[in-house]
Chains A and B, each alone.
Chain A
Amino acid sequence: MFSNREINRIKLKLNLIKKLDVKVPKLVFSPTQQEEDISPILGIRRYGPYDSNASVDALKRDFKGAEIFAFCPKGDDRVFSSLSRLLEFLENGYGRKSDYDTNFGGFRDEFKLEILNIPTPDEIITYEVGRLSEVLSEYKEAFNEASERGNRPIAIIGGLSHRSTSARREQYVEAKREFTLIDVPSQYASYYELEESGYGILYQILRDKPVGYPMWNFALNLYGKIGGIAWIVQQSLYDTIKKIMDLSIGIRFGRLRGQRGYVFGQATVLDRFGRLVGTIGRAYKFSGMVVPTRIMRDFIIQAIQKALNDPRVKDIYNRDKKKYLNIAFHRLNYFHPQEVLGIQEGLDYILKKMNLEKINYSLIFLISKRTFVVFDEVAEFNNPKYGLSFSINENTAIIHTAGARSDKDKGPLKYPIVASCQNLGEKNSVLQNLEGLCSHILDVSALHWQTVIPSSVRLPATLEFARRIANFAAYNIQPSQGSLLEKTLWFV
């Protein structure tokens, strides 16, 4: 909401500008994994997704497989035939066609699912745009039966809408709204054609373009949406492995469409394994640039209570008899003293209510707007490496959360983000130095689960997820409280 102003807040201190020694996150696909640096495709292929290997009950996959239902608006042969081919690729795999392409061995084999039901073309369900709900009422029983068999139902909807344009957005919004209403995860597959080109996986498939990576991304999204965890990143802190960031909470506020004076707040909570354990979204009425203390207090209490009451988090905390908590708060704006007071009051309440001894917390504000450009004179194409970080003053660093994987990387320039920990080094802060701040931000940024291309997402998952959820909320699309969808990446 107020991000442009934050850049002016930065103050460079010339004597403090230096390269930081930062720990780059390790994507973990198996408890027995040895490799420090492994790409998502290789990791999933070699080990399977993390939850298929987990030795601890709290992290084990709790479904056998997926049952896919495919939907397509009536009257468009291009969407129908490309959707049929997409389903075929999901079932039988896809072979690479060019240098910048990759093999995909089918959803079941690559993601080590016990069961995968994929419809044949004659089982694709067609519907009139605007009347999807009528069709869905006939399939509710089938979705329930899939769950009873220990599988997760998921819908793939082909359509003519694409996220980059508002044209025919109603198709996308209708699909998302109707499936979210009945607690069934859904994945949209776009066919968007322009005069000379087009967008979307269905367009690419129909034009015989290389789709190995898009197929992987599509499958990764499906897996996240049925509640799977493809990989985890240990949220251990830089200076000591004994310290864990128990919860990372991303907070975003945005103006509510069509309602003046109302702001929509969205908090996304990740646990110590980087799993999404809950989101809180609420509309508040307030004016001015600062979130009032009481609203911030209530918001924080709600978010933490929701996380600590989650059975998956509770199991671990009960087991450990934990008496202290480490929490990171992420935001795209500076935390105003009035907001900090609200957070402190919220934490005090949690401390007493949950009978804890101590809560340490770090207040981190991030700037994603393009600000600095770093040229690595040693690298062949000057591209800075993933993880490269610099301090620019006592509590602020610039971090390449996206970047090159080697000195020979010739990919496009990636801008670093700016991260500032407002209470860095203070007694109550989890983070005590800038190296710790950078490592933490890199860890949380590696948890996007939206793409198999490594180090390509700039913002931490906490804020990325909050943005996406807030976008859906603007269309009044939200899973019901306690719904299974809340535990999945339904919004990616």
Chain B
Amino acid sequence: MNVILWRVIGTRNQVKVNNIRKFLLKEGFAHVFYERYLWLAPLKEIENNEIENITKRIFSMNKEVEEIEIDNLVDDENWFSKGIVLIRDALQYALRQKFANNKDFRVFSRRRVFKNEFVLSGMSSGVLVGISLDRILRVDDDNICICPIIEYECIDSLGMVVEDRFERSRFISRVSKVNTKRYKGVLSQLIEHINPLSVKFSNKKLHFDEWRYKIERTTEKREKGEQASLERWLDV
């Protein structure tokens, strides 16, 4: 998975904008600070001098921008230092783009998408059901996948997350204990609105469309483990 990144000399402490992640995602860039560099990956088509302009706004000064080709973003060396953070940004951006004008869904931080409808309502708060796409794993030597799971969130009448942890968990536990079949149904319905999900990632395009991996259930022939008597076991 070779990918082109832009590298700028600069550290987090030198940044002059507030909430740089929010700022860069709004501008369509994934970023990570690693060692003494800022690494950028555009998540949209960019103009010739756009990277220079962005870095100037970030650091309030002109910075030299270098184009670096990374051989494999998912190898150990690049994945932990840069890959995982950039991919997370790319996914968050893709989800925000996809649901930008969709009133039926809300995109939360950490790649979570919630259906804008209470599955349980209380006096002053309710529970939303959603999906988390925050578990990003590497597949073989050149690919990635997302392990989607269902999440619940407790929201008050103003649309804010309820802060009282006890109240939240009490509400959520009333709807979250479902069997796997029901879970699969809810997950399928939510994923139908998300997949296919694609986003430009510098010179590449990330594309997610499948969400299940089938493993054949072989016959349930389980060899009985030989059990040692306690005495034999003691003498081992």
Q: Mark A290-303, 1 if CB is under 8 A from B, else 0.
A: 00000000000000
Question: B residues within 8 A CB of A12?
Answer: 137-140, 145
A259 to B86, CA, bound (A): 34
A14 to B169, CA, bound (A): 36
Q: Who on chain B is nearest to A234 by CB?
A: B233
Q: How distant is B231 from chain A, measured CB to nearest CB, in Å?
A: 8
Given contacts A7-B135, A381-B180, A390-B215, contact A23 B230 (CB under 8 A): no
Question: B residues within 8 A CB of A234?
Answer: 227-228, 233
Q: How distant is B184 from chain A, measured CB to nearest CB, in Å?
A: 5
Contact A13 B149 (CB under 8 A): no
- Among A11, A13, A23, A415, max chain B CB count under 10 A is at A11
Which chain B residues numbered 165 to 205 have a C-beta less than 8 Å away from chain A? 166, 169-170, 176-184, 187
At the interface, yes or no: A164 with Cβ under 8 Å from chain B? Answer: yes
In the complex, identify which listed stretch (A88-96, A103-111, A370-378, A463-471) lies at the interface while the others stay far away.
A370-378
A448 to B139, CA, bound (A): 34
Q: Is chain A's interface secondary structure helix, strand, loop, or mixed overall?
A: loop
Given contacts A7-B137, A21-B223, contact A164 B180 (CB under 8 A): no
Question: B residues within 8 A CB of A353?
Answer: none
Contact A242 B236 (CB under 8 A): yes
Q: Who on chain A is nearest to B236 by CB?
A: A244
Question: B residues within 8 A CB of A167?
Answer: 166
Contact A10 B234 (CB under 8 A): no
Contact B137 A413 (CB under 8 A): no
Contact A17 B215 (CB under 8 A): yes
At the interface, yes or no: A36 with Cβ under 8 Å from chain B? Answer: yes
Contact A236 B228 (CB under 8 A): yes
A464 to B229, CA, bound (A): 28
Q: How distant is A191 from chain B, measured CB to nearest CB, in Å?
A: 16
At the interface, yes or no: B104 with Cβ under 8 Å from chain A? Answer: no
Question: B residues within 8 A CB of A320?
Answer: 234-236
Which chain A residues numbered 310 to 325 have a C-beta less than 8 Å away from chain B? 316, 319-320
Size range of the interface on B?
35 or more
Question: B residues within 8 A CB of A78?
Answer: none
Which chain B residues numbered 126 to 170 have a C-beta less than 8 Å away from chain A? 135-140, 145, 147, 149, 166, 169-170
At the interface, yes or no: A382 with Cβ under 8 Å from chain B? Answer: yes
Q: How distant is B69 from chain A, measured CB to nearest CB, in Å?
A: 23
A17 to B212, CA, bound (A): 13
A413 to B179, CA, bound (A): 5
Q: How distant is B208 from chain A, measured CB to nearest CB, in Å?
A: 15
At the interface, yes or no: B35 with Cβ under 8 Å from chain A? Answer: no
A31 to B236, CA, bound (A): 16
Q: How distant is B233 from chain A, measured CB to nearest CB, in Å?
A: 6
Contact B181 A241 (CB under 8 A): no
Q: How distant is A149 from chain B, measured CB to nearest CB, in Å?
A: 30
At the interface, yes or no: B226 with Cβ under 8 Å from chain A? Answer: yes
At the interface, yes or no: A412 with Cβ under 8 Å from chain B? Answer: yes
Which chain B residues numbered 90 to 135 have a C-beta less than 8 Å away from chain A? 135
Contact B137 A382 (CB under 8 A): no
Question: A residues within 8 A CB of B137?
Answer: 7-8, 10-12
Q: Who on chain B is nearest to A4 by CB?
A: B134
Q: How distant is B229 from chain A, measured CB to nearest CB, in Å?
A: 7
Contact A19 B224 (CB under 8 A): no
Question: B residues within 8 A CB of A11?
Answer: 137-140
Contact A372 B147 (CB under 8 A): yes
Q: Mark B65-99, 1 if CB is under 8 A from A, else 0.
A: 00000000000000110001000000000000000
A360 to B227, CA, bound (A): 23
Contact A411 B179 (CB under 8 A): yes
Q: Who on chain A is nearest to B174 by CB?
A: A197
Question: A residues within 8 A CB of B232?
Answer: 241
Q: How distant is A99 from chain B, measured CB to nearest CB, in Å?
A: 18
Q: Who on chain B is nearest to A381 by CB?
A: B179
Q: Mark B203-219, 1 if CB is under 8 A from A, else 0.
A: 00000000011011110
Given contacts A7-B135, A12-B140, A14-B139, contact A412 B178 (CB under 8 A): yes
At the interface, yes or no: A338 with Cβ under 8 Å from chain B? Answer: no
Question: B residues within 8 A CB of A241?
Answer: 225-228, 232-233, 236
Contact B224 A21 (CB under 8 A): no
Contact B227 A26 (CB under 8 A): yes
Question: A residues within 8 A CB of B222?
Answer: 21, 23-24
Q: How distant is A86 from chain B, measured CB to nearest CB, in Å?
A: 24
Which residues of A are in contact with B by a Cβ distance under 8 Å? 7-14, 17-19, 21, 23-24, 26, 28, 31, 36, 54-56, 164-167, 194, 234, 236, 238, 241-244, 316, 319-320, 370-384, 390, 410-413, 415, 439
User: 11 pairs across A/B with beta carbons < 8 Å?
Assistant: A8-B79, A19-B215, A19-B217, A31-B229, A56-B234, A370-B149, A381-B182, A382-B181, A382-B184, A412-B176, A413-B180
Known: A31-B231, A234-B228, A320-B234. 16 other contacts (CB 8 A): A7-B137, A10-B138, A11-B138, A12-B137, A21-B223, A31-B229, A56-B231, A164-B169, A165-B166, A236-B225, A236-B228, A236-B233, A241-B232, A373-B147, A373-B149, A390-B215
